[in-house]
Amino acid sequence: MAEFQRDAACIVGIGHSAYGSRGSLADLGLSRLALDAVHDACRDAGLDVRDVDGFTGYCDDPTWPAELAVSLGTSEFRYSGLVWGGRGSGLPGAVTNAYMAVASGLANHVVIVRSLIQKVRLGQSVGAGVQPGDPIPLSVSYTAPFGMALPAAIYALKAQRHMALYGTTPDHLAEITINARRNAVNNPDARFRTEITVEDHHASRLVADPLRLLDCCMESDGAAALIVTTPERAADLRQPPVYISAVSMTGEYKWGTASFNTVDEDFVSTGHRRAARDLYDRAGLGPGDVDVALFYDAFTPSVIMSLEDWGFCGIGEGGPFVAEGRIRREGSVPVNPHGGNLAEVYLQGITHLLEGVRQLRGTSCNQVDGAAVALYGSGVGASPGGGVLLRSST
């Protein structure tokens, strides 16, 4: 097997559209939001939009690259790729596609873009929209008949098992949202900029025991984009490059059927322990080298499990770890300094990478002193999932 080529690609531009609540930006349309984000990223990079010659996305994004290329006036359209399914777990796959495209010379400047208008609630049944006579998605046929039809319910079952095995408490879950809201106060783009307390968390309505409303991310409209190129081309652009030191992807289990894994090692987990192994090996780094962690936080339990799976604490020790304040921006592993899915905006993970770039440039609203390495870990139980390690060029 060929050795992974480290630092062969870098991020040189980041951007986003306006952010809004579910359905509030529907009149603009997915393509307009995506174009706003791409234009913003190109301005950030100092790149002419016509020089974007590759596009990649994830989660079955319906924004067609061919249409974006026409609207941007792309001079040459060399590459497009899509990671099917995966929901928020698909982002490392999109980064992998962009990395391979520029490192191999298939394209010069590849944009990773995610555009989202939530006309249908993600909190609805995973079988929502299936009509009589339609083929039933395999994961739905395994789960929905047993009541596992909602994302919150699937996360809740994993959380219950984590509590039973390791003594994790609702106070530990509350700390995840408290941290997100506290960080979002300083983020002018964040949708929720009011701090909360443990009491506020416990008083919010129950959604799927033990998950309460404040354990669940918001539903949002918007788009975000990143420009990936080679370090050589980055030298001619505006921003210092942020190197993609390594990427990893694993497909340990499918999102819905994850509820029926009976081995605790897999069930009480984000499913990314193997991805962590591969990522650290490829980058030549370890958890101790990471200055900022960007963890997919659709629901609070996934952050606790991510801390364990990516090696920041022992398995089962995530609850006490967060209770000690270790994930706060002053702690040993600052998590989601921008507010994450829980407080900034829910765009299925891509804004976490925007924050990683800001941290390594030194321009974040909650800047971590000396940040040189940032880790992104994707969501729970969707395939393919994985991680991205970013490294500062300074």
Largest alpha-carbon pair distance within the chain? 58
Per-residue confidence (pLDDT) for residue 252, from 0 to 100? 60
Q: Are 102 and 9 in contact (CB under 8 A)?
A: yes
CATH number at residue 367: 3.40.47.10
Structural domain contains residue 338: yes
- Residues 167, 303: Cα–Cα separation, whole Å: 16
**Which residue among the candidates 79, 243, 346, 376 is catalytic per the annotation?**
346
Using the 8-state DSSP alphabet, how is residue 335 labeled? B
- pLDDT at 257 (0 to 100): 47
Quote the tokens at residue 106: 């298939």
Question: Rounded distance, CA 154 to CA 200, Å?
Answer: 24
Sign of CA dihedral 76, 79, 82, 83: negative
Residue with tokens 């596992």: 148
Place of tokens 């060399």: 78
For residue 193, being part of any structural domain is answered with no
Has residue 374 been placed in a domain?
yes
Q: What 8-state DSSP symbol labels residue 277?
A: H
Report the domain count for the chain: 1
**Type and span of the H or E element at 346:** none
**Residues 39 and 226 sit within 8 Å (Cβ to Cβ):** no
Asked if residue 190 is part of any domain, the answer here is no
> CA distances (Å), 162 to each of 7, 107, 334, in order?
37, 44, 23
Residue the block writes with tokens 């605790």: 264
Judging by DSSP bridges, how do beta strands 110-116 and 206-208 pair with one another? unpaired
The pair of structure tokens assigned to 213 is 């409303």
Say what the pLDDT of residue 256 is: 44
Mean pLDDT, the chain cut into blocks of 10 residues (394 residues total):
81 97 90 97 98 93 90 95 80 95 97 87 54 64 70 89 97 98 98 97 96 95 97 96 94 51 75 92 96 96 96 98 97 98 96 98 98 92 81 90
**What six digits make up the tokens of 249?**
């992807």
Q: Is 296 noted as a catalytic residue in this protein?
A: yes
* Helical spans, DSSP H, in 46-105: 65-72, 91-103
* C-alpha span between 278 and 274 (Å, rounded): 6
- Asked if residue 188 is part of any domain, the answer here is no
Are 126 and 151 contacting, i.e. CB atoms less than 8 angstroms apart? yes
Token couple for 328: 């706060």
153 falls within a domain: no
What is the H or E stretch that residue 248 is in? strand 242-250
Q: What is the C-alpha separation between 388 and 272, in angstroms, rounded?
A: 12
Q: Which domain holds residue 67?
A: 10-119+217-392
pLDDT of the residue at 343: 98
Q: What is the pLDDT of residue 268?
A: 87
Q: Which residue has the tokens 């994930």?
A: 327
Tell me if 240 is assigned to some domain.
yes
